[in-house]
Structures are given as C-alpha cells and as structure tokens.
Amino acid sequence: MKKDSHISELKELMLLVSKLGEKSDYFGSTHLNKILYLADFYHFKLTGKPITGAEYFKLPHGPGPKHLVPAQKQLIAEGRLSIEERVIAPERTQKRPVVTGEINEDVFTPAQRDFVSKFVVWACQIPASQLSILSHRHLAWELAELNETIPYYTIHCTGVNPITESTKQWAAQVATAANLTN
C-alpha cells in the first residue's frame, strides 16, 4: 500500500469534523466520511487547494479517504478518538466518532477552519442518506471504477442529471433544514 503523505492532516480533519459535529443527532461515521470528501473537494474547487491533500477513492457507497481506516485506527491507538455505537432506530445502530484527545488545529489556516466549521454546520442539518446523494452525484464518482482514485480536479467536472420529483423533494428538505426558504 502506498503511504499517503497527508495522513496527519487527514487525522486532524477527522478530529475537527467529529468535534464540530458532536451535537448533531445526525452525525456519525457516514457523515464524517462524506464531510471529509465534500469539504476537501469543495475547498479545492473554491481555492485551488484541498484542505488535507489526502487521496480519495471510489467505494461501493460513495467516495471516501483511501486511508480513513488506518488513520482512524491510529487515532484510537493514540487515545484521541473513540467510536461509540448507539441505537437510532429499531435494529439500526450508528457508529459515532467521539473526540477523546487534543486536536492540532495549527495544521489548518484560519480560513480552512472557518470553511470546515461552516461546512459541518450545514452538513449536520441533513440526514446521512441525503448527504450521500450529494456525494454520489459527482460525475467523477459515477465514472470511476471501484477503488479508483478520484483526482481533486474532477470537482470541476459536471454532468447532466435529470431533475426528478425525488430530487426536487430532497432539495426542498435541504433548503428548509438550512432555513433557506421564504
């Protein structure tokens, strides 16, 4: 396995996102995975630079950081993160990352921290299933083969997806949750 030279930035972003999302009932491992991808890629789209520089790849249920599992294991071994399981519905549990140690926020610029903070606030108003839809609509994820790396520049690629009734309902729910409706 090729070593990701950006694993330390990924670990700190995992902690920062987990800390910022801790008050949301929606926040769990799925949210963490989606937020890492979306925040890194949208930051790249806006600034030309990703937050972490970590490698992302196509997974069966959406894009994710290639070294998420090793990074998570390292954080747990360091005593900086734990994973709590909680029941959220009958026969359904949520794995929730919980920060248990220090976060080195110095690896991020103030602008990056502000971007992540605003992104997490927005994303934590949306159920994981809805957030997943957003990451699955990226043309690069749709076109990539399973386990293929998704380059950052592909955030600029757009595709034409038909707007269905369910898409309109989802958009209305997101707008309402974010207080964007009249």
By CB neighbour count within 10 A (0-12 exposed, 13-18 middle, 19+ buried), where does 8 fall? middle
Rounded to an integer, the average pLDDT of 34-56 is 95
Answer yes or no: is pLDDT of 106 > 60.
yes
Q: Which position has the higher pLDDT, 58 or 178?
A: 58
Rounded to an integer, the average pLDDT of 139-155 is 88
Reported confidence tier of residue 173, pLDDT bands at 50, 70, 90: confident
Reported confidence tier of residue 163, pLDDT bands at 50, 70, 90: low
Answer yes or no: is pLDDT of 175 > 90.
no
Answer yes or no: is pLDDT of 140 > 70.
yes
Model pLDDT, residue 1: 36
Q: What percent of the chain has pLDDT over 90?
A: 62
Q: How far apart are CA 182 and CA 175, in angstroms?
A: 10
Closest CA to 154 of 164, 146, 144, 145: 144
Q: pTM for this structure?
A: 0.83
